[in-house]
Amino acid sequence: MTIKLTDVAKKAGVSATTVSRVINNYGYLSQKTIDKVHWAMNELNYQPNSLARSLQGKSTKLIGVIFPSVGNPFYGELIEKIENKLFEKGYKVILCNSADNKEKEQEYLRMLAANKVDGIIAGAHNLGIKEYENVSLPIVSFDRFLADSIPIVGGDNFQGGQIATQALIQSGGKNVAIFTGTNQSNSPTNSRLEGYLDTIQRFQLEPHVFEFDGQHSPALKSLEIRKILKEETVDSIFCTDDMTAILTMNEAKNLNLTLPDDLKLVGYDGTSFIQTYFPQLTTIVQPIDDCAMLLIDLLLQRIADKEAPLEREYTLPVKLIQGRST
């Protein structure tokens, strides 16, 4: 059922005109009245329909895209491909940079719903955002569980973890470590760690798991990496993202460790940027182009038919590109 402005007015115990004035920030209103209206809007999950009012129910041809940061080469490349492919199909993109900030992601989600975009592609990894379960818009997710009804697209993270770890072992690694995030978000990317642990067990080796806080700056992460390289007995490292692998390469060089003689290293993502500027890095390549195409295809199916029978998860194969770090 669509929640109307009059429903908010009834819930707040005020007139529809008052609700309209609160939404449009027009005229003098007491803070008590404003708070009552906002409370009622939140309780009913009411979204002011600002853009759609002028479009009279027509398709906006707008797609909301929510990702953590365009500064990360992987997300930047994926977003670029999504935007280009959507443009070819007649859609424009509203890009929302969630910056690993739960409140920011919630505000962007409400804004996109209020402006009646045709659909949303979400790939941020914040925790506990329940609004996704209540938004009636078509949504598809990249590598993140949002709700039972929202399909997930991503590379085969478990397979990637296995391939990376096995490559290090086959290169002679005996003490193989993994540098990973905290794995707190409900994300399929956690399976990279699971793939590592599965392979370590199969080869009857001891696991060495090091988790890094995602909020740490590259400088702080570099300090942690240097400490590990100096104090821990590891000869091989699987980094679950390429940017961490580059920091590890830099710290290894600062400690006069040579790759792959003193330390073997495998990264993860394999963007064009990494392959061009860091070709020495052995890395797991995600199928970015295929992910972008599948995300868009599934979203357009949901836009055309909200009841379109889609799978819960779509997993695409990954591959290893051999550099000089293993």
**DSSP bridge pairs for 96:** 66
Model confidence over 52-82: pLDDT tens digits? 444 445 678 899 999 988 888 999 999 999 9
Query: For residue 44, what pLDDT band results from cuts at 50, 70 and 90?
Result: confident
Mean pLDDT of 37-45: 88
Q: How many CB atoms lie within 10 A of CB 107?
A: 13
Averaged confidence pLDDT in the chain: 90
pLDDT in tens, 197-222: 999 999 999 999 999 987 788 999 99
pLDDT score for 128: 63
Distance CA 13, CA 15 (A): 7
DSSP lists the bridge partners of residue 267 as 283
Both tokens of residue 293?
A: 């195409």
pLDDT at 5: 84
Rounded-to-integer distance, Cα 29 and Cα 68, Å: 37
pLDDT digits (tens, 9 = 90+) for 137-162: 899 999 988 888 899 999 999 999 99
Q: pTM to 2 decimals?
A: 0.81
Q: How confident is the model at residue 189 (pLDDT cuts 50, 70, 90)?
A: confident
Closest CA to 264 of 230, 229, 224, 220: 229
What was the pLDDT predicted at 16?
86
Beta strands at 264-269 and 282-285: parallel, antiparallel or unpaired: parallel
Contact by Cβ (8 Å): 109, 132: yes
Between 5-12 and 16-23, two packed helices, what is the crossing angle to 10 degrees?
110
pLDDT of residue 52: 44
> pLDDT tens digit string along 290-320?
999 999 999 999 999 888 889 999 999 999 9
- Sequence-distant (≥ 6) Cβ neighbours of residue 296 within 8 angstroms: 82, 85, 86, 89, 121
